[in-house]
Every structure is written in C-alpha cells, then in structure tokens.
Amino acid sequence: MLDESMPPESFRFETRIRFIDTDASGRIHYTAMFRYFESAEIEWMRSRGIIYGGGEFTFPRVHVECDFNLALRHDDPIAIEVFLTKLGRSSARLEFRTWKDGEVAATGAVVIVCMSRATQRAIPIPDELRKKLQPAVAASTI
C-alpha cells in the first residue's frame, strides 16, 4: 500500500477503511476520519517513544478539522501522514494527510493541550516530552 508519491521521510500509518465507519452512501462517515487520525497520532507518538495513557497528564483535543478531497469507501487502503506543525508552551498542532491511490483524499488537524489529570487545567508540556517532540517540528513539511 506504500505510495511512492509520498515523501519517504514522513511518518505513515497504513490501514483500510472499515465497514462500520461508512454511512448509508457507502463512504466514510465524516466523524470516523478523526478515529483514523487518532490511530495515526498514537502510532506516531509511539514511534517517538511516547505512550498515551496513565500518568499525571493527558492530551484532550481542543480543536479538530477535516477536509475531504476524494471519497473513501469500505476496504479502501489508505496511508495517513502525520506532521507536528506547532509546539507551544502547553499545546501542539498535528496535521494529517490521507492518501488513497496516490492522491490526497483528506487533510486534517487536531490541537491537543497538555492537561493535569488532577486539576483538569492546562500545564506546560513536560521537558522530557518536549525533548521527544521538538525534533519533529523541524522535520515536519506539509
């Protein structure tokens, strides 16, 4: 499923569109694309040595967006590229490009905020995490 038109240095998450994620028209339901983005995000984080879950902080989404350029249907193979385009004091912006058959089928973004589990308020991104994320900002070209 690897698409040769995608830059070789970008992170890719490959999967297929599941039937349960389609609507009556046979296309992906618009909300389902965010689950695919999140799956790609989790694997991108894992590739950087960051595992979600537990701990003193969490990363709720405070902004999401998605644009569709092509129809995505059940069993279509897709590859999602992940880019860290902004790393702020307590937030980060991840952008996504979904490829199907050599074309960009969807693009999107999420903004996540580092939040204390105890206080439920934004906190600065911990230094150990920032060190793992910072190199990705410079490497992201979308």
pLDDT along the chain (142 residues), means of 10: 47 96 95 97 94 86 97 97 96 97 97 95 95 83 61
For residue 3, being part of any structural domain is answered with no
Alpha helices in 3-107 (DSSP H): 32-47
SS3 50: coil
Domain containing residue 126: 11-139
Residue 59 host element (H or E) = none
For residue 91, being part of any structural domain is answered with yes
For residue 34, being part of any structural domain is answered with yes
- The rounded distance, in Å, linking the Cα atoms of 108 and 58 is 21
Number of domains in the chain: 1
pTM for the full predicted model: 0.88
- The rounded distance, in Å, linking the Cα atoms of 139 and 73 is 31
pLDDT of residue 9: 52
SS3 117: coil
- The rounded distance, in Å, linking the Cα atoms of 59 and 19 is 28
pLDDT of residue 55: 84
pLDDT of residue 52: 80
pLDDT of residue 60: 94
CATH code, domain with 35: 3.10.129.10
